[in-house]
Amino acid sequence: MLHSIILSYVTFVYFGAFMLYLIMMVMGRAVFGRLATCVAGGGFLIQTWGIITRWVTSYKMGIGHAPFSNLYESLIFFAWALMLLYLIVEWRTKNRTMGVFVTPLAFLALAYASFSPNISNQIQPLIPALKSNWLIAHVITCFFGYAAFGLSFGLSLMYLIKRVGTGSERNIFLRLIPETGILDILNYQMIAIGFLMLTLGIITGSVWAHSAWGSYWSWDPKETWSLITWLIYASVLHSRMVRGWKGKRIAILCIIGFSCVLFTYFGVNYLAGLHSYAKS
């Protein structure tokens, strides 16, 4: 189908953007950074077109629904949300170095969705439990939260690299990375956004679960690990705002938190439960 071809091609566009961002940092040439932004922005627009095309196609097939119903579609939307937030942050900060750490996440998500033999890209009818207006609200809030945590992960890596390389003024790669204080502030902002969106995602999911299964919380593996992830990022915010933690300790906690996000997203899909769709 056209939408699947479009989305698979975007995989290579994001990889090209990553390579251009990397060349920019290695060579210290701003022209490659501007080109990388154009490529990343173009890829984002093409991906948006692909998602809309898939959505319209589902209605033409008589099973119309938002493209958020299985693992393939969720990976596509995760990459889209990640790139949207990244491009906003790049435009706001006028710094392109984060692209080296963020575009690989979008590239890998699309590559796994498009080329894994275990993932079907076919449009499928919704199961009865998913036929709800809560589907869009729940998925959008959760995945924007995941995307914000993905940016936080990239910023944490940048912080640790910058900290380890302090004093290496001749290293162009390190010199282009913003100062640790700026990275720490941006990291905190991404954590705050991600925590708010994940909280809304859990709330909308609970309301949806009550309407679908008659229970707000059933300790499904995905629900349990979502709560664990929420508690980890709650502890990050608490440590910063109450205990005054900054810098290295927060960066390490964010990397641990994003590991939990990945397990919540991928790992629990292979466990028996209401959210198991690893073979979808």
Instruction: Classify residue 279: in a domain, yes or no.
Output: no
Neighbour-count burial of 259, counting CB atoms closer than 10 A to its CB (0-12 exposed, 13-18 middle, 19+ buried): middle
* Matching residue, tokens 């790669």: 173
Instruction: Classify residue 24: in a domain, yes or no.
Output: no
Residue 32 has pLDDT above 90, yes or no: yes
**For all residues of the chain together, what is the average pLDDT?**
87
Q: Among 15-19, 56-60, 184-188, 266-270, where is mean pLDDT lowest?
A: 266-270
pLDDT band at residue 265 under the 50/70/90 scheme: confident
Write out pLDDT tens, residues 88-132. 999 999 999 999 999 999 999 999 998 888 888 888 887 776 777
The pLDDT value recorded for residue 81 is: 96
The pLDDT value recorded for residue 279 is: 45
Instruction: Classify residue 164: in a domain, yes or no.
Output: yes
The residue segments making up the domain with residue 210 are 127-270
The pLDDT value recorded for residue 106 is: 96
Instruction: Classify residue 163: in a domain, yes or no.
Output: yes
Non-local CB neighbours of 219 within 8 Å, separated by 6+ positions: none
Instruction: Classify residue 134: in a domain, yes or no.
Output: yes
Helices (H), 171-272: 172-176, 180-213, 221-241, 248-265
Question: What DSSP state is assigned to residue 67?
Answer: S
Question: What DSSP state is assigned to residue 41?
Answer: H
Report d(CA 10, CA 4) in Å as an integer: 10
Long-range contacts, stretch 21-25, CB < 8 angstroms, 24+ apart: 21/96, 21/97, 21/99, 21/100, 21/103, 22/100, 24/96, 24/176, 25/97, 25/100, 25/172, 25/173, 25/176
Per the structure, the count of domains in the chain is 1
The pLDDT value recorded for residue 280 is: 44
Instruction: Classify residue 68: in a domain, yes or no.
Output: no
Residue 209 has pLDDT above 50, yes or no: yes
Write out pLDDT tens, residues 219-255. 778 888 889 999 999 999 999 988 888 888 999 999 9
In the chain the first and final C-alpha atoms are separated, in Å, by 17
The pLDDT value recorded for residue 254 is: 94
Handedness of CA 65, 70, 76, 80 (dihedral sign): positive
The pLDDT value recorded for residue 176 is: 82
Question: What DSSP state is assigned to residue 82?
Answer: H
Non-local CB neighbours of 164 within 8 Å, separated by 6+ positions: none
Write out pLDDT tens, residues 178-196. 888 899 999 999 999 999 9
Long-range contacts, stretch 93-98, CB < 8 angstroms, 24+ apart: 93/178, 93/182, 93/186, 95/178, 96/21, 96/24, 96/33, 96/36, 96/37, 97/21, 97/25, 97/158, 97/176, 97/177, 97/178, 98/151, 98/154, 98/155, 98/158
Single pTM value for the model = 0.90
The pLDDT value recorded for residue 100 is: 95
Instruction: Classify residue 228: in a domain, yes or no.
Output: yes
Share of the chain above pLDDT 90, in %: 53
Question: What DSSP state is assigned to residue 247?
Answer: T
Residue 51 has pLDDT above 80, yes or no: yes
Residue 14 in contact with residue 107, Cβ under 8 Å? yes
Share of the chain above pLDDT 70, in %: 92
Shortest CA distance to 154 belongs to which of 196, 114, 107, 110?
A: 107
Write out pLDDT tens, residues 146-163. 999 999 999 999 999 988
Residue 213 has pLDDT above 80, yes or no: no
